[in-house]
Amino acid sequence: MTPQLSTESLAAWLALVNAPGIGPRTVAKLIAQFGEPLVIQNASVAQLAAVGLKTDSITALKQSNAALLATVLNWLQQPETNVITLTDARYPPQLADLHDAPPLLYVRGDVRLLAEPQIAIVGSRNPTPSGIEITQEFARQLVGYGLVITSGLAQGIDGAAHLGALETGRTIAVFGTGLDRVYPAAHRALARQIAENGALVSEFAPGCEPLAQNFPRRNRLISGLSLGVLVTEAALKSGSLITARTALEQGREVFAVPGSIRNPLARGCHALLRDGAKLVESAADILSELAPLLRVALTANAASTAPHEMPHDELLTLDTESRAVLKAMGFDSVAPDELIERSGFSAQQVTSILLVLELSGHVSSVPGGRYSRIRGR
């Protein structure tokens, strides 16, 4: 259990979140006015009524749910389990910006991963073999660029996205149930793998069963945690399109992979493209669109990390192509055309590699469309 959250405080949070008539917006309003839930719980009936709470909400708020508290406390005895509150410093900033940010998050795995730059990948539960292959390829490439892949652990595209990410990177699975209930059950082994190499997250308490009305709420978390949403294959009537449209409402980028006009699972992607989603054929297309947002996210992460000198052998963590471009660059400013000629790589490869090197702090852009290595790197 998190050291910042006492049993008494957890009980107050649970009472607040589960009181009838009190949704995420009201919780945020109450927190802003009173502070921690213990203060809210101890406020007078008159004070709570004055901020608009109904009698049944106030009655429920002042009563602790002993059974639910016991369930959550028991779950917190398991390794790598946490409850993250809206006032916790570890609460993901991308999610905190939402007007309906969940007041509580249950997390199993690496909590720090929730604040990392993420791209969501969603799609059909019954994809074509080509859809699975494309999804896994995008996931592998995107984690190679340092992004975390976020999805919903569903059958089909979600599972393919998680598996592709786990080959070389990390992934987050957002549940529509409590984290002690894996849905679908066929993904129990995958959920264990993600918990060990990423994170499982839910706004639903342990013991919550798979209820239809909870999955749209799950979808808003998938998009809310992410900088953008990629749909690789989806039918016209698809939960993935709901996630994509929720992403647009949240101000996130939406990407779609085009497909054959004869493939019914391409129609959802084509509908998104007609509505303004960005057409992508490679991970580099996504990275180019997200570059400004990634710079902001990486700068924020760097500001929260103690400064350190980069050892010379950090270059060894770069892939072969990136090291080749750095070697071709030398230590003077150079134009991309020169790098294409020196390295033998295509224009698309050089553009993609330069963007990754800039985001990772190895090179910087200089006036005239040229690039130079950052001193000491």
What confidence tens digit (pLDDT) does each residue in 51-69 have? 999 999 999 999 889 999 9
Which of 288, 321, 344 is the last residue in one of the domains?
288
Q: What is the CA radius of gyration of the chain?
A: 23
Residue 90 lies in a domain: no
Among 161, 140, 143, 142, which Cα is nearest to 151's? 161
Residue 209 lies in a domain: yes
Give the mean pLDDT of 273-295.
Answer: 87
Same domain, 144 and 26: no
Domain count along the chain: 3
Same domain, 240 and 163: yes
DSSP state of 282: S
Same domain, 265 and 328: no
Same domain, 272 and 315: no
Contacts of 63 (CB under 8 A, 6+ apart): 15
Residue 248 lies in a domain: yes
DSSP state of 230: E
Condensed to tens digits (0 to 9), the pLDDT of residues 180-204 reads 999 999 999 999 999 999 999 999 9
List C-alpha distances in Å: 334 to 24, 319, 329, 337, 374. 51, 21, 6, 8, 13
CATH code of the domain containing 116: 3.40.50.450
CATH code of the domain containing 324: 1.10.10.10
Does residue 239 have a pLDDT over 80?
yes
Look up residue 102 and give its two tokens.
């969940």
Residue 87 lies in a domain: no
Question: Where do we find the tokens 């180019």?
Answer: 288
Look up residue 333 and give its two tokens.
């400013």
Same domain, 128 and 276: yes
- Residue 3's pLDDT is what? 46
Same domain, 134 and 278: yes
Which of 288, 320, 347 is the last residue in one of the domains?
288
CB atoms within 10 A of CB 289: 16
- Residue 57's pLDDT is what? 94
DSSP state of 305: S
Does residue 148 have a pLDDT over 50?
yes
Same domain, 263 and 327: no
Residue 296 lies in a domain: no
Which of 242, 259, 288 is the last residue in one of the domains?
288
Give the mean pLDDT of 101-108.
Answer: 97
- Residue 147's pLDDT is what? 92
Same domain, 132 and 260: yes
Residue 188 lies in a domain: yes
Residue 106 lies in a domain: no
Residue 3 lies in a domain: yes
Same domain, 267 and 347: no
Grade residue 171 by pLDDT with cuts at 50, 70 and 90: very high
Give the mean pLDDT of 88-97.
Answer: 93
Same domain, 46 and 120: no
Between 298 and 356, where is the model more confident? 356
**Could you give the CA distance from residue 31 to residue 129 in angstroms, rounded to a whole number?**
48
Same domain, 141 and 223: yes
Same domain, 137 and 278: yes
Structural domain of residue 28, as residue ranges? 1-75
**Could you give the CA distance from residue 178 to residue 211 in angstroms, rounded to a whole number?**
11
**Could you give the CA distance from residue 105 to residue 205 in angstroms, rounded to a whole number?**
8
What would the DSSP string read from start to end of 151-189?
Answer: E---TTHHHHHHHHHHHHS-EEEE-SS-TTS-SSGGGHH
Grade residue 216 by pLDDT with cuts at 50, 70 and 90: very high
